[in-house]
Structures are given as C-alpha cells and as structure tokens.
Structure 1
Amino acid sequence: MNQAQATHQSIPLQVQVLEQISHLPLQLNGVLYQHYPAMKLGQKQAIKFYSTQLAVIAENIYQQEEQLDWVITAPPCHYLPAGANLLARSVHQLLAKQGITTELVEPRLKQQQVSFNSKTEFQNFYNYSKSTLEQRIKQRKNELDTLKNNKQANHLKNKSLIIINDINVTGTQQRFMQQALEQCQVKSCNWLYIFNIESSLAKQHPELEHQINHSRIKSLKSFSQVLSDPQTEHTSRCISRLFNEDDEEFNYLINHLAVDKRQQIHQLATQEGRYSGTFFEQKMQRLGSNK
C-alpha cells in the first residue's frame, strides 16, 4: 500500500493506493492485475477481491477519527454503475459488517440527453482509457457542475469522505471532482485506488489504463460467459463493450443469452439512456427481440 499527502488544497486530501505503477513493463500476471478486467465488467468475485483490501484501508482511516461523519462514495455515474461504484458499495457493506457506521452516497451525472448519435461520439466514450490528457480534461469537465448541483453531493457539507476509485492515470477525474467537493464544503477527502500510475509515466503512456482493462477476457467466448453469468452485475463498461462489437459479434453474444438475461440487459441499456438514439436503434431492436 502506498500513501501520498496532497498539498495546496483548501480541504485535507489524502491518496492511498494498493499498488503504485512507476515503470514498465506492466506486471499483468500479478495478482492485483489478474482480477481487474473482470472487476470493470462487474464480476462479483473480482469486486470482492479488491473491496476486501480497500475496506482494510478505509477501516484504518475511520478508526483514526471515529467521531467524524464518514461517507463512502465514488465518482458519479449515470444509471449503470462503473466498477468503482460497485467497489464503493461493497466497501460500505464490509465496513457495516465490522460494526462501522458510514453513509453511502452515489452522485449521479446530469440526466441530459446522453444517447450516442455517431460512431465517433461512442468511440470517444468507450475508448476513454486510451485518451490523452487533453481529451480526458474535455470529457471530465461536466462532473464539476454535476456535483455542485447534485442534491446528494450538497448533502456532503462538513462530511469526511472516503472516495473509492479503481485507477488514477492523469489525475483529471480526481482534480475536477475535488474542485466540486470543495465547493460542497466537505471536511476532508480520502481517495482510495487500486492502481496509481506515476505522473511522468502516465503523461507518456495514458493508454496504460486501456492495456490493463483488456489484459484478460479478450475472446468473444470469455466475454459471452461474463454477460450470461448470474454473478455479473453489469456495469456501464460491460454494456458498452457489448454495443462496441461489430454486428456479427453482437449477434453471437445476444444469441447466446437466455431469454430472461437478454431482457435484463435490454432493460439496463434502455435505462442507461446512451443507446436510445438512432445510431444504436437496430442493435437495441435485436437485443429486445426474443428471436
């Protein structure tokens, strides 16, 4: 576990990580890496693997100042959770089992029109882990206003936060979210990550996140098993990966789903709102069909 104290902040900010990545090549066969792709897709066993370790850190933070009002949270999402949101829920539950009282707050992104109208729009979203620093900044700016105007976030005033996230690459998401939380007048922020990529390495190789994301579950068959597994709580990335497939692969995947699972995934995609536009109209129709 690594720890760093940030400076020049108006509120106390601490960052702790399970592993610091400071050189290449990535140790993709290492135990911390092996479960990561499954966690991003929502596999419960992988979520538990990481949340158990993160909960130990969270418990230590809590015990240092038990008298404070503690909140467990994660970066905002739309309807479907990201892996980080599932980690936060699991950490909250694990702490509760230890008799530790915290509040779980799950900020939501603005519910404006989010459906994709072109391949470019979708690829910019789906391939965020390949994005340059400039692209990441552009995509994260909306989170500042989201948190400032979010009722749940405004509820965070004078609360001490434990913010669960999976990986810190360029620091863009943390920086924008931190600015918003400062305006919400939180008492302190404790960021917990699985991985933190050293800043100079991240600037040279922002695509490392993509490499870790796709280091396992590469084949169509293995992804099909994840989609149909009852131990998968489908994340935003899981559904977007399905829709990223070409027509032939997409048809293969949905045709290997049981009818009830297919209906469930169609409902999730509908509720997420990203796939309701004309660009994905045909895929949504095929997914919603029982044929």
Structure 2
Amino acid sequence: MSLLLPSYPAKRGYYTIMELKFVAIVLGYDGDLFQRCLARHGIDINAKHRYSELEVKTWLDDHIFDLELDRVFNHYTAHYSVRVIKKVLLHLHQRSLTYNEVATSRRVFQAVTAKERRLTLPTDKNQILFALKMTNKILPPTKLHHLLQAMGHYRLESPSSLKLFDFFDIVSRAQDLESLTSEYLQSKANSDAHLDVTFETLYSRLLASLDEKYKASLIKHKTKKARSDTSRAEFVPEPQKTTFPKYYNSIAIQRATESREAMRPTIKETTQQVYLARAGNLSLSSSQGERTLNRLVTSYSNKRPHTVPF
C-alpha cells in the first residue's frame, strides 16, 4: 500500500517541516516527531522555512530526538534510529529512494526480521532476494554477492547480518520488478509460451537473465580495462639514458681542480678571520691577527697548570 506522498523533497538537500514529517511517517514514527522535539528544545519552527540537511543532521547529533527514538516501538536504540534517519536523508538527497520506497523497505525489513525473531536480516542471499521481491525489487545474485562483499569490507559492523540502513543501500541498487516483468511480457506477446507461466517461474527467468547480463558486463568491463592497460603500456616511452663522451669526465675533473685551487686563498683568509673573530680582534690585518692570536694562545697556555693538558 503506497502512501500519498511526493517522491522526493522539493529542493534537494533542504527540508520543510512537512517534508521532515514525511520522513518520520515513512519510518513508522509519529508525524509530529520533529516539530515536537524542536519545540521542546526552544528551536523556532517556521512552516515555510527550508532547513538544510546539515542542520537536520546537527539536530540529530545533538541528541535532541533521543528521548523519542530510544526503544519507542521497535526495540531500536536512539543511536540506531538516528543512523536510520541519516541514511534516509542521504538516499532522498541522492534521489536513489523515494518516500514510498523507504516506507515499503522498512515494513518488509521489519516483517522478515520479526519472522526470524531478530532485529537484523541475515546476509543470506536467498533471504535478501526474498525481501527484495517483497519490496517489488530484483537484483542479480552475482551483483548481490559483490555488493555484500563490498559492504562487509567497508560498512557492515557484523558481516553476518544486515541492519535497516544497510538494507536501504541494497534496495537502492536493485531494479524495479514490475517494470521488468512488463517488458518481459511485452517481448513474449506474440507467443503463447508465457500464458501458463506462474509468477515464480517468471521471476526465476528474470533473475537468471539479469545475472547473465551482469556477468557479461563484468567480462566486458575487465576486457576493456585490460586493453586500456595494454595500450597504455605500449605507448609509454622508455626513459632515455643520457650518455656522455669519456673526455667529458676529464674536463670536469680539470675544471673542479682549477676552481678548488682558485678558492684556496679565499678559504685561508676567511679561516684566519674566524680565528680573529673568536679572539675578539677582527679589525687587525692578517699578519697582525696571526701575531696577536699566537700571543693570546701562548699567554693562555702559560697560565694553565702543568697537570692540565692544553
């Protein structure tokens, strides 16, 4: 049963109080959840004002809704419920799930988990495909396997179970079952082979067909990538080795020797100036500086006791 709701918020990334009310309704909460909690914390509410997605997430992070969300009717903690709301805001922003799809996915998830008497959905492909079929969605088994692998590596807290916000991610990747069924029946309209086919048989055929197409697309993608890598490797030029004639080395050695000999007097003079600066008499000439330095060193060494080496 679909609710009379718009598909998405009117402006991407912004929500009116009425659009936030829709978010609460599709998740099974009281429609006045946002308005009641904001008023309790003294936040002004304007029916025509559009609140940014960042503002809404800030309210959620500030624990404004914890009292209303903590184990209200579904035994979920406030932290869990806040993550679910954030995931819904993300999919509405990306236009990957509509309000009605969120509501249907939530009801199906709760129905399947209630049957299993648990709060999470096992990562069993058959159970997930069954849950997707109940939401009027279909996903190739191989694609589902790859998606679960990726989610297990990067997002799932427990690789053996799916939470509601994880299930939203899977539903957003699935295709509409009703439209695919209509296309299949139209393609078989000229034959009578589909007249006595049950829905389960039709579903199995669609599942196998989608899986074959997905595997073919994977092979095509890998082949294309391999060709691009090979062509890139062919067109990458090899680094050129720069070689110089042997006489270049002798010329370089000769020039280095000449420059070193030319710098020798300068080095000697600057060394003497360093000595003079340490002796405190930089204004003297080189010869006077040497005599003064020798006199200072001699007088200093004569004052030292014989037991202390200079």
Give TM-score, length-normalised by structure 2: 0.21
Greater Cα radius of gyration, structure 1 or 2: 2
Larger RCO (CA within 8 A; separation ≥ 6)? 1
